[in-house]
Chain A
């Protein structure tokens, strides 16, 4: 393979991995911490993309959309959690899946009523338009921005989860909720915070993805399945798992498309199948889940 072509595809893989990561981390930690399978996570992603469209449509800049839309989407996500999702918290995964799939349908239809069926576009700031030269490869600047943003967020989340008191509380809650509660940690509060941060990151993913993937009804469903695969492969409840899973699936998706174009989707499922056979609890799950597996 020509090295320039390889470099370009590695960049494509990284870019896609970063977008997957933004969605996967929230889903994974919420699942890990509360054992809650929230498929409506994707709806927050879509909502933020539409809000970003509204902000830019109203004359705001892309940066303003990047600042405001994830916060708004996160607030709505949290509201949704307290108003609705919390009700089936104790009723197992099936009830959670049914309820959150219902939320997906309702969210899609509501957005369709407000914004119509036609896909919308969000423009990137002028200085991120077009391509730039990376070691002899003309590569879109905006995609480089996504890679940089993803790496930066991985760093921030690492510090937050591994080096702060809040992070210690989250990890304690994920590993052994009962003991953590016995020790006086208000897990419900920690969870609300984690939920809000997860929704914020999904929202951020939605805004960042909008200029590349477009904004349209159903954009959540097309990505949430991949994100679930990322979580399964990476393992539940851990930052490392989300990072590793995103990278594996991002690379498998990109290189599957080039190497086996007839079976483009197969590569991803192959990675998932291998993970399930050899590491059923995922590659880097939080401690509690690795023991369970």
Chain B
């Protein structure tokens, strides 16, 4: 009896000692999360949406974690690597942030990652998608809750190889780094699935107004489908021009969700109908976690959440959950990053977990643009559950 009691006391003592001792000392100290996000310029609108998702996550946690108030310190990276690095130095050096989140542009992410790693400040990326970040350039301190280019495009390659008439396609993609990376990953899985590529063209980025010549050429090659990779205003122009050529019935259009994102529904209108794309989130997901999220988000912001807001939300949620698991301690950085690695939950996107190469494992959805009320919406046609990042080459 006596020995049992002693064992209990001993166990309790161990438990107390192993819970980070810093907790009581830090109760008053806020958790500072540095956010690097373009809030002006071309990517400004994306940054704003991610910030909404981030603020939502903090509010959902009641504004604090393990007794520490959560503060966001936001800096505008202007989507420029050298500005981004300078702002990261400021956040770490002057603002003394505990962790970092955000980053839209892959170039900015590649510029700040080595610096943050050197400073032992964990970074949770919420958008930048280059495969390098979870491949050759992976880093113990750099996590990503959004997707790698390969993670979002390989599934639709496999899917199209199974579902496109004649398994033959034509590729049209904007001529810059990200679409090339998408196309490379897409081709691998599409060809592995037995698909055939009858032609491809890369219209100059930012200089192409008229896609007509490319569309005529694609049509002449007589493919079963077109795989298109365009973003922002180029996605608008491309999809509308594709539609005007009247080939939707004979040559359907596929792409990453960026080709018909919900924010362009109003501008693209019926032209976006029936386009099939791959996504890691659409508001129409009906599992209970997303229904709750969507309802609360709509109530707070008066608009439907979309993927960028959700990826911002998840970046902060990973940080909050990890800090909670550490009982509020953020001083022990190796312990903090292994806590981030262990975070898992079912969120708006479905089940989330961190992969060994620090890219989140998540569901990938194949979705189709359909009529919804007066406007457009998505219908999930297939789900690739718990899809691990296919990127290789990461040595930690």
Contacts and interface: CB of A to CB of B under 8 A. Distances in A.
B236 A216 contact: yes
B203 A264 contact: yes
A119 B209 contact: no
Given A117-B45, A257-B214, A213 B267 contact: no
A131 interface: yes
A283 B386 CA distance: 63
Nearest to B247: A138
A264 B209 CA distance: 13
Interface stretch (A2-10, A67-75, A159-167, A189-197): A2-10
Contacts of B266: 120-121
Contacts of B269: 121, 123
A216 B233 contact: yes
A123 B213 CA distance: 22
B240 A131 contact: no
Contacts of A211: 240
A265 B207 contact: yes
Contact of B240 (A116, A130, A212): A212
Interface in B229-247: 232-233, 236-237, 240-241, 244-247
A254 B213 contact: yes
Contact of B233 (A214, A258, A261): A214
Nearest to B201: A261
B264 interface: yes
A103 interface: no
B45 A8 contact: no
A9 B267 contact: no
Contacts of A123: 269
Name the residue in A19, A209, A211, A216 with the highest tally of chain B Cβ atoms < 10 Å from its Cβ. Answer: A216
B204 interface: yes
Contact of A258 (B213, B232, B240, B263): B213
A12 B45 contact: no
A12 B210 contact: yes
B45 A118 contact: yes
Given A16-B212, A214-B267, A253-B210, A219 B244 contact: no
A143 interface: yes
Interface string A99-119: 000000000000000001111
A256 B343 CA distance: 52
Contacts of A16: 209-210, 212
A215 to B, nearest CB: 8
A60 to B, nearest CB: 16
B165 interface: no
Contact of A138 (B241, B245, B264): B245
A119 B235 CA distance: 9
B209 A258 contact: no
Contact of B206 (A139, A209, A222): A222
B358 to A, nearest CB: 31
A256 to B, nearest CB: 9
Given A12-B210, A214-B237, A261-B201, A119 B247 contact: no
B244 A142 contact: yes
Contacts of B42: 117, 218
B24 interface: no
B244 A130 contact: yes
B268 interface: yes
A222 B216 CA distance: 22
Interface of A: 2, 5, 8-9, 12, 15-16, 19, 116-121, 123, 129-131, 138-140, 142-143, 209, 211-216, 218-219, 222-223, 253-255, 257-258, 261, 264-265
Given A118-B264, A131-B246, A265-B207, 9 more contacts: A2-B220, A120-B266, A121-B268, A138-B245, A143-B212, A257-B214, A261-B201, A264-B204, A264-B208
Closest 7 CB pairs of A and B: A131-B246, A121-B267, A140-B244, A216-B233, A12-B212, A117-B45, A119-B233
30 contacts: A5-B217, A5-B220, A12-B212, A15-B212, A16-B209, A16-B212, A118-B267, A119-B233, A119-B237, A120-B266, A121-B236, A121-B266, A121-B268, A129-B244, A140-B241, A140-B245, A143-B212, A143-B244, A209-B209, A212-B237, A214-B240, A216-B233, A218-B42, A222-B206, A254-B210, A257-B201, A257-B203, A261-B202, A264-B204, A265-B207
